[in-house]
Chains A and B, each alone.
Chain A
Amino acid sequence: MPVISIGNLVKTFGAIRALDGLDLHVEQGEVHGFLGPNGSGKSTTIRILLGLLRRDSGDAQVLGADPWRDAVRLHRRLAYVPGDVSLWPNLTGGEAIDLLGQLRGGLDRRRRDELLHRFDLDPTRRCRTYSKGNRQKVAIVAAFSSPVELYVLDEPTSGLDPLMEAVFQDEVRRVKQAGATVLLSSHVLAEVEALCDRVSIIREGRTVESGTLTELRHLTRTAVTVETARPVTGLDALPGVHDVHEVDGRTHLEVEPAHLDELLGQLIRFGVRALTSTPPTLEQLFLRHYGDDPAAAATGAPTAAAASGAPSGTAASGAPAAGSSDADAQVDAPQGGAR
């Protein structure tokens, strides 16, 4: 039985249609990435899953129950890190963690202390004096201190430094090991790649893609550069081959993974001297779904695409996203070479 099951979910705010027939299925024990451009409806979906917002229509089930009607009962079994953490300004961080844990039905004190240590958080400071990153840590510690079945994390690492990001990833792996399910909304692609078993990508309140990262890669074209003894011809006629162009005697093109075979068969006839093939980076994968012009996003070089098609986010979400392109490059390079 899926832990989260959403079908045809609709939510409007006055004239704004925030969710427009969204589907989302999260299985028991998986870490599910929840991605989409700014304003695509991630936080809205999450708030519906928490029974904070009331859906207009559609089905929503969390741990087998209705999130709106059974909110209180469900909340004992899940922990939430909001996208924009705000806390009681005159409580200390330690008090806020204990309060949230206790209101949820209790927390593991040993884990709490360990997490405070690992996240290097001073629990004696008043919440109003915390930086954004430290407020975020308070919410993360409060959530992971509770041994629950489902963790709902809305951009939990926006504002964390790379060291803390690593600690966070360890924690997600730990709760996964313990059998919990995680719904992780994030703009940090490296984090998604490192943690998520499956991802769902939404746009304008609708799910546009859902599956494992490998599955999603297969939907996206591979970039091929080839140097041949004789000028290549007949590529345009091949199925699944796009954007063929020649620069300095080298042919650049893109091919759908399913048609790689036919392409190689054709190329061989012209005497291949050098060939590189680059599978799509995560960045390209997402930009294809995020941008207004999917085709353009898919063909551009990663950096150019990131510059032109990246969702115009807040300064906070922009920084980690930019940092992640390096990480992706490292992860993807060996794979590219192996092909």
Chain B
Amino acid sequence: MSALTGTTRLARLVLRRDRIRLAIWILGTPLLGYALAGSVAGIYPDQEARLGYATTSASSLVARAFNGPIHGTDLGAVVVAETYVTLALIVALLSTFAVTRHTRQNEETGRAELLGANVVGRYAPLTAALLVIVAANTLAAVLLAVALVGAGLPLAGSVAAAAAIGGVGVAFTAIAAVTAQLSVTSRGANALAAATVGLSFVLRAAGDVLGDQSADGTRVRSAWPSWISPLGWGNQVRAFDGERWWVLALPVALLLAGVALAYALAERRDQGAGLIAPRRGPAIGAPRLLSPTGLAWRMQRGTLLGWAVGLAVLGFSMGIAGDEFNDMIDANPAAAEAINAMGGGADLINAYLAAMLGFFALTIGAYVVQALLRVRVDEADGVLEAALATAVSRTRWLGTQVLAATLGAVALLLLAGVTTGLGYGIVTGDPLGQAVELGGAALLRLPALLVVAGVVTAIFGLLPRWSVVLSWTALLVFLLLGQLGAVLELPQAALNVSPYTHVPAVPAVDPAALPLLVLAAVAAALLAVGVAAFRHRDVPS
């Protein structure tokens, strides 16, 4: 029996398990690309508008940080600048989670052991997962290229842009293959890989911010940090601007190296084990652990710390970048108008800060979903059954989880607001005042997060088996409505679906109590539905 025996059969199993996810991924990416390309073409129809856009983007450090380096004034270049980072992040995370799901998670649940006892080679499970996921990335890229050409963009550039996105997926497939070997839990493997995605984002942003503007003012030549970020490679292909095809060899090289490393690691460790030896712990439970609240804190604290560090760094740097924003606005009235419309207020810098806080609130939504879905993970594992067989009521158990997630969200919001305020305050000379003001403004986003918590709780109560998929889908919809809704020119009714739409964009506008109260009421209703449904259903189910 060779080390790869059974790969084909396992690959079919992966396809079978993920047929719906894969279909959404492979068809969703090109559809999104097509829609975005079309609407960008509508917003920047002529050379003049695009020249303005390119010049602004090349000179703005914020645009460089969030949209990557601009490469000229071709319509395709504008489409890439507007969409690349969002699509690349989505593809990176999808690939990561898919790899973990079909490797480490199988080991964690013991499914792999069941398979391993059959005629299955040592490397077969990993190889099967990688084959399917690389194939999915490739197929999605081919369709994306077709979609971009269909939207009227030049062939070579479309292929390069689509391949760049596919390359990001392939690169993170390789990274996840390695992290799946390192951590014992699928949560840990996902967290490691997601941290790599975050690090890549920061490196790319740094490299692009530190880069030089070309002589004609419409291009950015990134500095070296972008080159050590798999997210940055896609930009270096320079789609629609004299494509550098050889850059696409980088993700392929990373894939080969990653697979080799993953095989070598798999060779060294036992089934189900990681490379980091487990530590021992206390023989008795400390009194503060021994309650639903204590347990919830214990389960959340690691995750919360990771989020706190990430948000603090991001908030602080975005705050500092706020000052640079003033310069950019002065240079470009058209962009000023766009940002103004986004924030909705008079003062442009406040619009920028409001947009930042909105972005953080969306991100913290992911924390809330992740934290609350623990209940479902516990239910699927069987731990919930053991807990509910003790003298703890279902209401108390679920309520504790919701409360823990809410408190976590409050802490993270406050932290993000305060660090943004500190950063902005340091460059403008009023750190304390700004920290207090933006900390308060950030907290006003809480009702939207309560709605997110309510949505997850309601889904968990009513459709437990679909909790994970539906909860993340809901958040993704909110995210897409917020990030791309304006570019896609969606009707207001569609935008209203997202709770984030209704939060007053403080500090760009004055706070208003009514929308916040309505959001809180909606959240309360959703929570009540979720708890009531949970009280009346079977556990486990």
Contacts and interface: CB of A to CB of B under 8 A. Distances in A.
Interface in B513-540: 536-540
A125 B537 CA distance: 34
Contacts of B298: 90-91
Contacts of B289: 91, 95, 98-99
Contact of A95 (B278, B285, B390, B537): B285
Contacts of A125: 278, 280-281
Contacts of A126: 278-281
B282 interface: yes
B390 A98 contact: no
A86 B383 contact: yes
Contact of B389 (A52, A73, A124, A129): A52
Contacts of B392: 72, 75, 103
Contact of B382 (A51, A86, A100): A86
A83 to B, nearest CB: 9
B290 A99 contact: yes
A74 to B, nearest CB: 8
Interface string A60-89: 000000000001110110001010111111
A250 interface: no
B469 interface: no
A103 B537 CA distance: 22
A129 B108 CA distance: 11
B393 interface: yes
B389 A75 contact: yes
B281 A95 contact: yes
Contacts of A72: 391-393
B386 A75 contact: no
Interface string A98-123: 11101111000000000000000001
Contacts of B278: 125-126, 128-129
Contact of A86 (B285, B386, B538): B386
Contacts of A217: none
Contacts of A129: 278
Interface string B444-487: 00000000000000000000000000000000000000000000
A94 interface: yes
B281 A92 contact: yes
A98 B294 CA distance: 12
Interface in B117-146: none
Interface in B250-305: 278-286, 289-292, 295, 298-299
Given A82-B386, A104-B390, A128-B184, A99 B295 contact: yes
A86 B385 CA distance: 9
Q: Which of B290, B385, B389, B391 has the most CB of A within 10 A?
A: B389
A54 interface: yes
Contact of A76 (B281, B292, B381, B391): B391
B388 interface: yes
Interface in A46-60: 47, 50-54
Interface residues of A, number: 40
A124 B281 CA distance: 5
Interface in B380-434: 381-383, 385-393
Nearest to B185: A89
A103 B281 contact: no
B296 to A, nearest CB: 11
Given A80-B386, A82-B382, A92 B280 contact: yes
Contacts of A10: none
B187 to A, nearest CB: 9
B284 A123 contact: yes
Contacts of B383: 86-88
A4 interface: no
A52 B385 contact: yes
A98 B283 CA distance: 10
Contacts, number: 112
A100 B388 CA distance: 10
A70 to B, nearest CB: 11
A337 to B, nearest CB: 44
Given A52-B538, A54-B536, A86-B381, A75 B280 contact: no
A183 interface: no
Contacts of A102: 285, 290-291
Nearest to B184: A128
A223 interface: no
Nearest to B279: A126
B76 to A, nearest CB: 48
Nearest to A123: B283
A82 B381 CA distance: 12
A22 interface: no
A139 interface: yes
Given A72-B391, A128-B185, A103 B292 contact: yes
B282 A103 contact: no
B536 to A, nearest CB: 7
Contacts of A54: 536-538
B419 to A, nearest CB: 29
A269 to B, nearest CB: 60
B387 A103 contact: yes
Contact of B539 (A53, A89, A97, A105): A53
B538 A103 contact: no
A84 B540 CA distance: 12
Contacts of B290: 98-99, 102-103
A146 to B, nearest CB: 9
A81 to B, nearest CB: 9
Contacts of A82: 382, 385-386, 389
B112 to A, nearest CB: 15
Nearest to B390: A103
B391 A98 contact: no
A73 B390 CA distance: 9
Nearest to B389: A80
Contacts of B292: 103
B382 A94 contact: no
A127 to B, nearest CB: 9
B404 to A, nearest CB: 15
A139 B386 contact: yes
A75 B390 contact: yes
B390 A92 contact: no
B390 A100 contact: yes
A105 B292 CA distance: 13
A105 B290 CA distance: 11
Given A53-B538, A72-B392, A72-B393, A100 B385 contact: no
Contacts of B185: 89, 128
A91 B540 CA distance: 22
Given A52-B389, A75-B392, A104-B390, 8 more contacts: A50-B389, A51-B388, A75-B389, A75-B390, A91-B289, A99-B295, A103-B390, A123-B283
Interface of A: 47, 50-54, 71-73, 75-76, 80, 82, 84-92, 94-100, 102-105, 123-126, 128-129, 139
28 contacts: A50-B389, A52-B385, A52-B389, A52-B539, A52-B540, A71-B388, A75-B389, A80-B386, A84-B382, A85-B386, A86-B381, A86-B386, A88-B295, A88-B299, A91-B281, A91-B289, A91-B298, A92-B280, A92-B281, A98-B284, A99-B289, A99-B290, A100-B387, A102-B290, A103-B390, A104-B391, A105-B390, A123-B283
| Closest 8 pairs between A and B when the two form their complex, measured CB to CB | A98-B285, A103-B390, A102-B290, A92-B281, A86-B382, A95-B285, A94-B283, A80-B389
